[in-house]
Structure 1
Amino acid sequence: MDLIYSTINFYDKLVRRYREYLKPDIISVVMIQSKDQVYLETTEIEILEDGLEKQTTKRIDLGFITDGEDFESEELFFNPKDPIEKNVRKFINELSPYSIINTTDLFHEEACGKINRKYNTFGVNM
């Protein structure tokens, strides 16, 4: 059985939108989609003492993110039946910073604290 999937690297779009929030070691953010699943893959780089570059790639299944108020009406926020372009646009344009800090590890600690305080103190989700 062949495994067919599509990928889109949208790191540059995230940098433009969340420059001050993104972890500085991240060099790639890719959505990977098959007919059954949607993943977010991030690659971070670390320069070792001897000048070697260590790259660490993390992949998470986005199937746990839903779009609904109650369990009976919940639908997948990133639906594998939708085109990958639609799912990438949803990640960039519809997933709030508060949702991002609760579902991914894209943002550095200070940014997460700032976003969390804004949301929990003022109800600000952007």
Structure 2
Amino acid sequence: MIRKDISRVSIVQSLNRVWLEIVKEKNVNDYLVDEHIHRSDLAFISGCEGDYFSHRDSIVINANKFVNDYDSYSIVHTTDLFTNEACEMICNEHQEQN
């Protein structure tokens, strides 16, 4: 389960970087909501052929990789998207399979 304080997750890309952008909302009072935007550079994630999320690929390809190819066990260890309970469940399932 995605953390409840997260309102949006996006892949953001420039000419030489790919980021995972996580937006969290915080209610200030009855009518004000602040957004906290955090971008994590995905260059630390690599595969056999270099950067897994390459700035040379289109943003569509990188977003597709994150949503469809990047497994939940890897997401648990490289992001803070999931609740603690979801992280435990994903890690337990991974251990059972291996």
Return the TM-score normalized by structure 1: 0.72
Match of 1:113, SS?
Answer: helix
Q: Which runs of 5+ in 1 are unaligned?
A: 1-20, 69-73
Q: Which residue does 2:6 correspond to in 1?
A: 26
Match of 2:54, SS?
Answer: coil
Match of 2:63, SS?
Answer: helix
Deviation readout 1:77-113 (Å, 9 max, x if unpaired):
0010011100000001100000000111111111001
Q: Which runs of 5+ in 2 are unaligned?
A: none
Q: Which residue does 1:95 correspond to in 2?
A: 70
| Aligned counterparts, 1:2-81, within 5 A | 21-48=1-28, 50-51=29-30, 52-68=32-48, 74-81=49-56
**Residue 120 of structure 1, CA deviation:** 1.9
Identity of aligned residues (%): 35
Q: Could you tell me how far apart the structure 2 residues matched to 1:92 and 1:110 are? A: 20
Which aligned segments of 4 or more residues in structure 1 are displaced greater than 6 angstroms?
none
Q: Could you tell me how far apart the structure 2 residues matched to 1:55 and 1:83 are? A: 27
Q: Could you tell me how far apart the structure 1 residues matched to 2:59 and 2:27 are? A: 32
Aligned pairs, number: 97
Q: Which has the higher contact order (CA 8 A, sep 6+)?
A: 2
Return the TM-score normalized by structure 2: 0.91
Q: Which residue does 1:9 correspond to in 2?
A: none
Q: Could you tell me how far apart the structure 2 residues matched to 1:101 and 1:112 are? A: 6
**Residue 121 of structure 1, CA deviation:** 2.9
Q: Could you tell me how far apart the structure 2 residues matched to 1:85 and 1:122 are? A: 31
